């Protein structure tokens, strides 16, 4: 009897879900994608992962992965044809540390930059400056090597690009005027890539089968 494909609960525009879909797409591991609305979460998602955020990957054996980085690592450990995984333990630790910076200080600044009213802010200046400091660190890294991962695109690039994209689109004119040419080129290449196009295809909303 054939194994059932893992089920991926996802939301198209969520950057965490984007990074998971990128890794799964690149690995070639088949999954059953279930596009949901975050304001109308299906009971099956909440049963698998009560925290109710995406992405969530439910494996055939019932194991639930509810962190995007865990999903990326799982997918790439199954199959890594483009060598996205770091080559050794030290490189993996560097990648995970960089992702933690993205998911911590950068995401906090990004949220305040995008949604100042939600945080009771009258100005986005402080948040944008905090995010800019972190993006300039990416620019300096890209001045030394073609990709954040190193010589080729890898896990670190895929994990951070959706968030940089979100920041860039908050005020595209301002972003284009900043002194980060390599970062801008890197982002454009990501947005023009076949992988990005593939994982951003619109999917119908998943509905649970009628009982």
pLDDT tens-place string over residues 164-178: 999 999 999 999 999
pLDDT > 70? residue 105: yes
pLDDT tens-place string over residues 109-135: 999 999 999 999 999 999 999 999 999
Q: Which domains does the chain have, with CATH numbers?
A: 7-82 (3.40.30.10), 89-193 (1.20.1050.10)
**Which two tokens mark 112?**
């305040």
pLDDT > 50? residue 95: yes
Kind of pairing, strands 64-65 and 7-10?
A: unpaired
Kind plus residue range of the DSSP H or E element containing 58: strand 56-58
Give the per-residue pLDDT at 56: 98
CB distance 180 to 141 below 8 Å: no
Confidence category of residue 54, pLDDT binned at 50, 70, 90: very high
Give the per-residue pLDDT at 1: 37
Which residues touch 184 (CB under 8 Å, ≥6 apart)? Answer: 175, 176, 178
């Amino acid at each position: 009897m054939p194994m059932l494909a893992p089920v991926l609960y996802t939301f198209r525009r969520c950057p965490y879900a984007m990074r998971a879909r990128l890794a799964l797409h690149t690995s070639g591991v088949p999954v059953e994608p279930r596009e949901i609305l975050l304001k109308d979460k299906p009971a099956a998602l909440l049963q698998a992962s009560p925290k109710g955020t995406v992405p969530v990957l439910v494996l055939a054996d019932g194991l639930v992965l509810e962190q995007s980085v865990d999903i990326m690592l799982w997918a790439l450990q199954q199959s890594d044809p483009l060598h996205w995984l770091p080559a050794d333990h030290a490189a993996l630790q560097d990648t995970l540390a960089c992702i933690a910076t993205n998911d911590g200080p950068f995401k906090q600044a990004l949220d305040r930059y995008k949604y100042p009213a939600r945080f009771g802010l009258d100005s986005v200046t402080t948040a944008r400056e905090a995010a800019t400091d972190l993006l300039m660190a990416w620019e300096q890294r890209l001045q030394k090597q073609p990709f954040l991962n190193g010589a080729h695109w890898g896990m670190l690039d895929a994990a951070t690009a959706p968030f940089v994209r979100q920041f860039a689109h908050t005020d595209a004119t301002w972003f284009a005027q900043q002194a980060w040419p390599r970062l801008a080129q890197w982002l454009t290449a990501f947005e023009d890539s076949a992988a990005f196009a593939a994982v951003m295809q619109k999917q119908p909303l998943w509905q649970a089968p009628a009982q």
